[in-house]
Structure 1
């Protein structure tokens, strides 16, 4: 089947190959990656085209050039990040804020603010535009705040960022909606759910963040029939088990299955005195407060005691032997 190789078709195609038995060579350029099944190129930020041969036009940026630059028409944005490249005469998210003209002495001499005529004429205190803060309005709002003096809180779901000027939510991969509180609809993924999933095998859905075909937790491989390898669990088996002292974890939930002699959510604790077995559920049966093996429960007798449960006094036994 396309995208896999090996006797049991359980090995994913290595990088730069695709198709049945991985016998096709990817044609993607400029760091583009091809899909292991059909060879379609997934272009990096700043590139687009069938084989990622084209550079984003001036008004686009990001992977496959899907995002629009917000810079003023006369300025350029970074083809990878979308960050505006402002001249010395302007600043701001979209280079929309002009600096004071050095020839205008009233701004330069009277106001210490970064924007012309933006200071209070009585106190000289800078009156920052939305999205800016600080004594001279040179700092952007802290993450999670926006608006005048950065006093308003972002309302975006899942802790996602908002535009520091107007509070518009900037949805991360896998979410959409005004507040970024809606998961991508079936068949779509990526930032603001703008990317269309490739067809997954057996009607499986693709992951709304990565676009990978989603198996149920604990399963892997093209048909989602293989179990996670030892030490891993969850969707796509990407999460590492945290269990300690040789314990295994459930491939679906990651819950630790402790060996005898240990307990705790991560099997991090040894059994306390007088307890033994799996999850330390059994109480020792030893006499005279003698300890027991935390794994097997066998009594560990001190020198003066003997017997299966340390119930026999060695001294008394010696006395009886002379009678």
Structure 2
């Protein structure tokens, strides 16, 4: 070869690019779906509805329903990486293939109600004319031949408080301070403070079945229970002393009661209550730990033996009493208790009669509640019970029933002579 030919061969060997190898030819470059050859290398790609795995070879199906339910308003089905929308029974798929509309069964022949058809969301219901009742198939109506039973007689018609029988069944209503829940039967507390129905000028405290007003430091509640009156210097000093000495009120387990009954020709009401487990008090809610101001339990465990200057069943009342309706260090403060309730002669706390509760004894217990703040529900079988004791929850049975819940029927057999 000549010198020029040798030089051209050397230059060509140095300057020409290397020959590319197509890796995709052999086993698709080990790619699961598509292999794309590049200069000196290759890459794997996935078809629509799939994404590349971390190994950069295999493809994973994308679940279109995982994000926003695939845009479907009801049910989303993953079909080979594409979202397919479906609807719940009683609905149809709209033209956008995503949202669902309600099927009006009453407008179609599917309802077939004998009298009236009422369309509901996703379904329908048949309604009969007055004097007829719906059959077991939910469509046919049959004339009512039997006498209508009082719908409130069994379990108070399912009502929490008051039940009134009507042709449409039980009609429930609630005590003052409550409102009827969405089920039309349950009574829930009405928060007068929240909805602005309270009369309080400063602070409002909501309670079950009512509310109470309170005042800032330096004020006392007016006799109307709503407004706040400023205290003078003597009353301010007296107020501080009284607050510091106010007893700590404690609530424990429900009292253990033993009931004695007497039969006098027929069933009678409970006429005596005896406390158990070394408890005492009118509702058996006190024990020796409740003795205050250095008092100790007496030998009969029926109250506390008090040191000089103190009296009361738990030694929480001063012997230096004020005239009725007044309290405080100088007996200048007026009691603000409603319903003729009396107040503590030292602290001014209202002492409520049975059936009343609240800071001013102005709240009435619901019919089937008892205990402190009417916080416990009576366990009496309501249709067999005359009343539930507001203090301890004991049941007074109707004639022909007995048991601690009035749950047992009594067969009254006339005596043979």
The alignment's TM-score, normalised by the length of structure 2, stands at 0.27
The alignment's TM-score, normalised by the length of structure 1, stands at 0.33
Relative to its length, the structure with more strand (as a share) is: 2
Larger Rg: 2
Relative to its length, the structure with more helix (as a share) is: 2
